[in-house]
Amino acid sequence: MKRIAFLLFLMIPTHLAFAQDEEAKIEIVVLMKSQYDRAKLGRQAAYYPTRTERREHVVKTLKAFSEASQQDLRGLLDEMERQGMVESIHSLWMSNALYFSITESALSCLSERNDIAIISRNVKHQWIPEVEAPVKATDSREITPNISQVHADQVWALGYTGQGVVVAVVDSGVNYEHEDLADHLWDGGDAFPHHGYDVVNNDDDPMDDKGHGTHCAGTVCGDGTAGSLTGIAPEATLMCVKSIAADGFGGAVNIAGGMEWAVEHGCDVISMSLGMVDASVADKELLRRSCEAILDAGILALVCAGNEGNAFLQMTYPVPNNVRVPASCPPPYLDPDQLVNPGGLSCVMSIGAVDGNDMAADFTSRGPVTWQGTEFGDYAYTPNIGLIRPDVCAPGVNIKSLDYENTSGYNSLSGTSQATPCVAGIVALMLSKNPELTPAQICQILEETSVKLTPNKSNITGVGRVDALAAINAVTPWDGVFVTNERQACIFPNPSTEDITVTCEGMHQIEVFSMDGRLVKSIQTESPVHQLKGLMSGTYLVKITTDKGVIVKKAVKL
C-alpha cells in the first residue's frame, strides 16, 4: 500500500495541480475498512476496575489503532493538502473515519484504495427535532411539574442530587453564564476555560446561539438560583459541547466529534437531544461505530427518538425510518421482549415523550427500526419486528427550562428533546449513589422500574415512563469497594483454570463481583486463606474486607 501511495504522490503534481486554484472542494467522510476487534477490546477493558480506567484504556487503544490504520491514507492526504487539493483534515478515532474537503478530481485518487470501506459526502442535516417555537415563561419560584412527575424531588430528600457526576450536553451549545448553571460547570482548566468545546467552529467556546442546548441543560441540572428549579439533578456537573450550528444543521461528523470529545475529556453520561432523519448508510455506520465504542468505554448516552411520530410525518418518514439516528442505535441491555429478535449493543438509550398525564405525545417518533442494509446487518425488519425503539419515555410536553437569551430567564418547549435530558438527569442521580454502574445496569434498572404504560415494550413509549425514585431504590450502593489499606492480599493462580485461592491476614469477608457489578459470591471467613470454588470463566473483582479496611483485587478464571 505504501508503494501505491508513493505512485499517487508522483501523479498528483502532473495531472491535478494546474486546476487546484479553480476547482471547488466538497466535504466528504471516509470510513476505513479496518475496525478494532470489539470482543478483544471488551476483554481488555474488563481488566480495569473503574469506569475511569476503562474509558482511558478504550480511548488510548482506539486512538492508537485509528492512527496506525489511517497512516498510509493520511500521508496521501497530507501531500494533497500541500498541493491545495485537500483542506481541513480531521480524524474520528472512535469510528476510524476521516472527514475533509477535497476537489472532485483529486477524489478519484481515493476511489480504488482497498483500505477504505465507504466514501460519502458530508451532507448537512437538520439535527434538532423541534415541535414549536419557545414560549417565554415566568421566573416564579417553583419546582417544575416534570420533576415531580418522575419523583426526582423525592430522590433529593435521600441525599442524591447528581453530585460528582459529569453530564455532557451535546447540542447547540449552552449559555454557561445562566445563573441556574454557573456554579456547577465542568472545569476545563486553562485549555477549556468555557467549560467545554465547540466542535462546529473548532474552538473552546461552546456558547449557545440557538437556545436548544441551554434549555436541555436546564432540564438536566438547572438549580433554581434565578427562580424556577428545572433540573432533575441540580448538583450534577455540566460539560458543554456544541455540535450544531445556529441554524440547527450539521453533519454526522459534528455529532460523532462532539460525543468523542466528551468521552475523551471525562464525561460520565451523555445527553443528546438531536438526531438525523433520512440518514445515509455512511452516516448510520459512522454513528453506530461511535456509539459502540462509547459503550466499550463504559459511558451511557441518552438520545431523543425524534418528533416525526404524527400521521403526516409518518408518511414522510415511515417506520422503520421514523426514529432518528443515532437514537435508532441499539441499547446496552436487551429487554426480554427484544430477545425474539436480538442483535448487537451500543451506548444508546432511545427516549420518547409523554405529556403530564403519561399519555404518549402525538409527535413522539415510532419504532421499530432495522440495521439491515448496513455493515451491522442485524435487527431484521418485517412489520412489527425489528429493534424496538424507544426504550423508555419521559415528560416532554410544555417543559419549562432555561432561556439562552439572558442569564436568568425561562421558556417552555415540547419534544423528545425535552424528555431526553430528564432521563439523563435521573441517570446522574443513579450515578451519584453508585458511580460504578455500567450502561447495561442503568438501562435495565430504568426499564424495570418505569411506570408501565403498555403490557409489553412498546414502539411508542418503550417500557414506560421513567420513575427516578423507583430507579434509585433499585440501585445498590458500591460502598468503599475501591478503598485500600496496608494489608497485603494475594490471589493465585491468576489467571486460573481451577479454583482460585485468596490469602490475606485479618480477613472477615470476601465478595466476588462480575464486571457488570453483580454479586456472585459472598463468604464470611476468619481464616487467612480461602479457596474460591465454582467460578465460571470470566473476569471478576474480589473485594476483601479486613480488620484494617477493604482491598480490591482482580481475578481471571479461564
pLDDT tens figures, 147-167? 999 999 999 999 999 999 999
User: Domain 489-557 has what CATH class?
Assistant: mainly beta
Q: For residue 321, give the C-alpha cell.
A: 425510518
Nearest CA to 274 out of 248, 311, 236 is that of 248
pLDDT at 139: 63
Q: Can you list the residues of the chain whose pLDDT is less than 70?
A: 1-22, 132, 139, 479-487, 515-517
What is the per-residue pLDDT across 287-307, written as a single tens digit (0 to 9) for each? 999 999 999 999 999 999 999
Report the Cα–Cα distance between both ends of the chain, in Å, rounded: 39
Measured CA distances, 517 to 49, 154, 223, 373, 438 (Å) = 10, 26, 31, 35, 7
Q: How far is CA 460 from CA 360, 456, 463, in A?
A: 7, 11, 9
Q: Cβ(62)–Cβ(315) under 8 Å?
A: no
Helix %, strand %, coil % of the chain (to 5): 30, 25, 45
Beta strand pairing call for 269-272 and 519-524: unpaired
Q: What pLDDT shows up at residue 3?
A: 26
Structure-block grid coordinates of residue 228: 424556577
Q: In this structure, which long-range contacts are made by residues 450-459, counting pairs with CB atoms below 8 Å and at least 24 apart in sequence? A: 450/392, 451/358, 453/354, 453/358, 453/360, 453/393, 456/337, 457/335, 457/337, 457/338, 457/388, 457/391, 458/388, 459/319, 459/366, 459/367, 459/368, 459/384, 459/388, 459/389
Find the length of the chain. 558
Distance between CA atoms of 444 and 242, rounded to whole angstroms? 30
Would the CA dihedral through 451, 320, 118, 24 be positive or negative? negative
Pseudo-torsion of CA 514, 520, 524, 526, nearest 10°?
-40
Distance separating alpha carbons of residues 353 and 132, to the nearest angstrom: 15
What residues does each domain of the chain span?
2-122, 126-474, 489-557
pTM exceeds 0.75 for this model:
yes
- pLDDT value, residue 8: 33
Looking at residue 108, its pLDDT comes to 86
Question: Residue 153 carries which side chain, given as an amino acid letter?
Answer: D
Q: Three-state SS for 417?
A: helix
- Residue 376's Cβ-side half-sphere holds a number of Cα atoms within 13 Å equal to 26
Q: What's the CA gap between 186 and 53, in Å, rounded? A: 19
Contacts of 260 (CB under 8 A, 6+ apart): 92, 93, 94, 290
pLDDT recorded at residue 137: 79
Give CA angle at 277 (273, 281), nearest 5°.
115
Which grid cell sits at 247? 441554524
Residue 487: the pLDDT is 63
Neighbours of 69 (CB within 10 A): 17
Q: What is the pLDDT of residue 541?
A: 79
Cell reading at 206: 461552546
Contact between 151 and 232 under an 8 Å Cβ cutoff? The reply is: no
Sheet with 519-524: strands ordered across:
519-524, 507-514, 538-546, 549-557
- CATH T-level topology, domain 126-474: Rossmann fold (3.40.50)
Query: What is the model's pLDDT at position 1?
Result: 31
